Amino acid sequence: EADIYQTPRYLVIGTGKKITLECSQTMGHDKMYWYQQDPGMELHLIHYSYGVNSTEKGDLSSESTVSRIRTEHFPLTLESARPSHTSQYLCASSGNRGGTYNEQFFGPGTRLTVL
């Protein structure tokens, strides 16, 4: 089992609220990722980080922001939530282990509903 955690698991909030989705991993992985996925649809990469103080936008434009102050922690923030942000947000991490293949391990996800 991967040691990557996300909180909250479920969040229902009103429009205009600021929210932060937490993601932590205890595997010492240098790379971390945020994906967005709607039910039955594909994964979309929205942010990634290759190490502390390194963050990049992903392939899908997102109004969210991220920070990477500590290796183990990669929070995602929405300054003003809107109904269009309703989705599942999945955090993942990966790290080189014995010269392997950059496989990513996922947290359980946060299911966000904005009313």
Binding residues for another protein, rule: CB under 8 A, are: 31, 39, 42-43, 45, 48, 50, 88, 90, 94, 100-109, 111
Q: How far is the CB of 24 from another protein (least distance, A)?
A: 15
Q: How far is the CB of 101 from another protein (least distance, A)?
A: 4
Instruction: For residue 30, give both structure tokens.
Output: 């240098």
Measured from the CB atom, is 28 or 50 closer to another protein? Answer: 50
Q: How far is the CB of 12 from another protein (least distance, A)?
A: 16
b/e per residue 40-59 (b: at least 16 CB within 10 A):
eeebbbbbbbeeeeebeebe
Among left, alpha and beta (phi > 0; psi -120 to 50; other), residue 27 is: alpha
Helix, strand and coil content of the chain, in percent to the nearest 5, comes to: 5, 50, 50
Measured from the CB atom, is 17 or 111 closer to another protein? Answer: 111
Measured from the CB atom, is 53 or 100 closer to another protein? Answer: 100
